[in-house]
Structure 1
Amino acid sequence: MKRFVALLAAALLMTGCGGGASTSTPEPSESSSPAASAAGTEDVIVFAAASLNKAFPEIAPAKYSFDGSSGLVDQLQGGAPADVFASADKKNMDRAVSEGLIEGEPVLFATNYLVLVTPADNPGEITGFDSSLDGKKLVICAADVPCGAATLKVAEANGLTLNPVSEESKVTDVLGKVTAGEADAGLVYATDAASAGDKVKVFDIPGAQDDPNTYWIASVKGAPHAEGATEFITLVTEPDGAATLAKYGFGPATTE
């Protein structure tokens, strides 16, 4: 009898130890962790110089605001949300940096230079960047935007005093007035002249290519899409981005 009880107790003990479900949690496998996805650029807010309005959308999708560089800095200073700022000169990028609007170091990514354009039929009979502009309806950029500052430099270098009928806040507005026949001539970037095709006649400006505008890009401090901003800048500055910029007439990223 004692032997039977002992055997029964042993059997019950074995059943109790082996019948319960395990409560331990398995270690997660490496494959169960979610894969990190690359940051997209579709939601990135890009404040860019007006002359980039053709090249940038081809480089990457984003939410673009194209305007004169100085006006864009004003908007950033006023609290407008943005992720990336691309300026058509160093002066306005330096201003953005000095006002604490930029994260990290700005990157030089392209160059550009001014040319003189007239409507294709050249009604003002302009012969070049010379005295033939006297008394004609000339349109230029305002002095506080990069194309305007460059205009003053080339005018001084060529000994000309310009008397424009209007000064525009962005270079695309200058081009628009020329192609619409509202002006006899205008000073625009070579890239803008190229985009207008046979709608304009183009005259080189002596010395303009020797002192081109430099284009700079940077992330905006407090960018709502910081990772996307970094990716956008990479796309602009990598070889494919440089090739697209060159396609639209921009020069290489060099100050020499």
Structure 2
Amino acid sequence: MTRTRRVLVAASAAILAVAFGGCAGGGTAPSADPTGSSDATTSELRGGLTIFAAASLSGAFDELAARFEARHPGLDVAPITYDGSSTLATQLVEGAAADVFASADDRTMATVADAGLIDGEPETFASNVLEIAVQPGNPFGIDALDDLGAAASAHPLVVLCAPEVPCGHAAQTLFDRAGVDVTPVSEEQNVSAVLTKVRSGEADAGLVYVTDVQAADGAVEGIGIDGADAATNTYPVAALADGANPSAAREFVRFVRSAEGAEVLASFGFGPP
């Protein structure tokens, strides 16, 4: 990670905490309690909790779920189901059982909301932008989106998220704005698969979130994209109307949007909502 990126990540923790004084996206303000606790006591939350979350949230939500479960000893948080947001939305609409859904964009959350599956309103809690992931040392000398296009002097193998996935939709937005035509060797259903192909050498470059590059811990190198904020993904979370544990679901959503939740998210590289 570059020194600039480390500074930005550190600054995000402070910005996220401040931003939760009034989140964008029409959601209610998060709990002012910095511990993320609420009126429900630890003894009131029992049973299981099932969470569906975008693949890019895997590290952060594992940490958030562990902290939430430790705070509520009577609660059993099931291993979180991670995948592309559009894949998870389809599963929910087709009847998959879950208590909480966290998506990588508002468009995918709207699919679930329009099906009448949301309890209340989705709450935005974080943001993310794309960058180019390349092999360590950047052997193709990739500096910008132009270097991935058909007109580039070198022709790296590029892998992207599929267009219906939030990371794929954001990538296409950036390519369109830059006037770059890219022919990917594959289109994946979640951003983790894109990162895996770059890490393994099956692809020379791929568009992933800055949080994915940070989580790779040096296994890939991140190349910033000029104007990446033009395709910023904002992340909404919601309790599901037919969930088996609505009280725990609502409390988990509140915890994600608390000051403690903001600090955890910032530590994984997410920006404020």
TM-score bin (small chain): 0.7 to 0.9
Larger radius of gyration: 1
Which residue in 1 is equivalent to 2:17? none
Q: Which residue number corresponds to residue 90 of structure 1? A: 106
Query: Which among 107, 110, 119 is matched to residue 123 of structure 2?
Result: 107
1:173 aligns to what? 193
Residues 177, 183 of structure 1: 8 Å contact kept: yes
SS of match in other structure, 1:60: helix
Residue 145 of structure 2: SS of its match in structure 1? coil
Measured after TM superposition, the shift of residue 222 of structure 1 is 1.0
Alignment of 1:105-184 (within 5 A): 105-134=121-150, 135-184=155-204
Structure 1 residue 129, shift from structure 2 partner:
1.9
User: Which runs of no fewer than 5 residues in structure 1 stay unpaired?
Assistant: 1-34
Overall identity of the aligned pairs, in %: 43
Cα pair 2:53 2:101 within 8 Å, conserved: yes
Change (3 A) 1:83 1:132: closer
2:129 partner amino acid:
Y
Pairwise CA RMSD:
1.6
1: CA distance, partners of 2:122 / 2:148: 40
1:206 alignment partner in structure 2: 226
Query: Relative contact order (C-alpha < 8 Å, sep 6+): which is higher?
Result: 2
Tell me which of 82, 92, 98 is aligned to 1:76. Answer: 92
Match of 1:13 in 2: none
Contact 2:149 2:180 (C-alpha < 8 Å) held by counterparts: no
Whether 1:52 aligns to 2:52 is: no
Unaligned runs of 5+ in 2: 1-40, 67-76
The one-letter code sitting in structure 2 at the alignment partner of 1:202 is: G
Alpha carbons of 1:132 and 1:172: their partners in 2 closer, same or farther (altered >3 Å)? closer
Question: Number of paired residues?
Answer: 218
Q: Cα gap change, 1:36/1:138 in structure 2, threshold over 3 Å: closer, same or farther?
A: closer
Task: Calculate the TM-score normalised by the size of structure 1.
Answer: 0.81
Is the Cα contact below 8 Å between 1:129 and 1:203 reproduced in 2? no
Cα distance in 1 between the residues matched to 2:248 and 2:231: 33
CA change 1:132–1:72 in 2 (3 A) is: closer
2:43 maps to which residue?
A: 37
Q: Is the 8 A contact 1:60 1:235 kept in 2?
A: no
1:186 partner amino acid: G
**Counterparts of 1:76 and 1:198, CA distance in 2:** 35
TM-score by length of 2: 0.76
